[in-house]
Structure 1
Amino acid sequence: MGILNITPDSFSDGGRYADFGDALRRAEQMLLDGADILDIGGESTRPGAPPVPVDEELERVLPLIEQLREANVPLSVDTYKPEVMRHSIAAGADMVNDIWGFRMPGAIDAVRSSHCGLCVMHMLGEPQTMQLGTPDYTDVVGEVRAFLAARVAELEAAGVARARISVDPGFGFGKAVIEHNYALLAHLAETAPHVPQGVAPYPVLAGMSRKSMLGALVNRPAPERVAASVAAAVCAVERGAAIIRVHDVAQTVDALKIWGAVRDAARSEAASAQD
């Protein structure tokens, strides 16, 4: 999933793609680099970010959705506002990626009758306050899983098909920079709600690209965290992530090709040994 922030204040690339032409060229480049999904965001959700009025967010995201819907690639809209969800789906969005986990009044109603995919994210608090003080958990993996399970259950009770739903543990969203984020990465598959034996698990989305959890270890500013982001992406896929949300598509695709080749070679050797 390639990140397309059309905002002036996103933590890593704020302002770079606020112009429509620049955003369109960025989208086209990510597709050439191998992105399978484009995630279009019209409001920054970095810690402390102020909310954006609905009309302004719509002015940012709708023209891109309308322009890119013929690109033969799924389009995701990164929003928590029901009105933006409705208009984006009508414009051709294939997925709604909601940091609030569809908790806003009217959010479930905005998506229930559509066929688009839904990504339910965990967040402790809200963007303006989520990293103030020290986020507190007794068992971060278990608590994130319980939250996601409750949100998934509410969506399904409202008539949303299970197959439409994916989940995101919310790296950096109300988490201690190292303690909580790396516990979630280490146990990524366990953050997804439990399902009965034989039932396909909920796909997990991992979004760590250039985040402070990486900067805290490598001591580099956000634009220089490419190698760290790629390493985190490989760790996430190895631990069961189905979707990787990244800024640096080409580098991540290359790394996952190598990882996939090693995995396939190991499987082939194991199959030969069994024969």
Structure 2
Amino acid sequence: MDQHPMAQLKQFKYELTRFMMMYKFALAEMETRIEILMEEFEFLHEYNPIENTKSRLKSPESIINKMMRKGYEISMPNIRENIKDIAGLRITCSFITDIYQIKDMLEKQTDLRIVEEKDYIKHQKANGYQSLHLLMEVPVFMSDGREYVCVEVQIRTIAMDFWASLEHKIYYKYNAEVPDQLLRELREAADSASALDRQMERLHKEISDIKEVQAEAAEVQSHEIVINKQQFALPPAIMKLFGEGT
């Protein structure tokens, strides 16, 4: 016998609420892991590749509206199958090399699964957008067992993030009907942001190289001082004559 419509609605509301809780927990799990990586990196290397993080969780209304726009029947299996950007985490870095370093660190966490990767840094979008997108499955432990939940992770530099934020505001203001002149200027701004990233990357490498040379020189000098002390140390018998070494 089919359920009464009100009973069906109540059941759907219960399942959707539990579903959203899992995505909330998955985001919290990812944020905790990123915090651990930040503290560990700061402790080991006195450098933190992560400048900032920001998370967002789609509302149930937003999910249902997206399902309707795509023409899908509203059901929990359909939502699971077709909506992959419910939970999002954005990580902002100073340098391009930081982006791939963070990706490598996440890949080494064997209980995380990268199910999809879109590299818009190596392959920019036509409008100039740049970012590394990772669709990750995160383990969430509920009372009845473990479930893997999708979290979309975007990793980008500060310059890339600034440009993306500006582009989003412009598209929102013009309701996606942006004048051609503004589109051209946005593309030029994307090129400028990309050039800035490359310049900052070069400066970062030069500074790192200088620090490495200075550290090596200091180590050599320290070694030479030890050798000199050993070389010119007086024999114990002579030291005794001067009242030392007793």
Q: Normalising by the residue count of structure 1, what TM-score does the alignment of the two structures yield?
A: 0.20
Q: Normalising by the residue count of structure 2, what TM-score does the alignment of the two structures yield?
A: 0.22
More strand by share: 2
More helix by share: 2
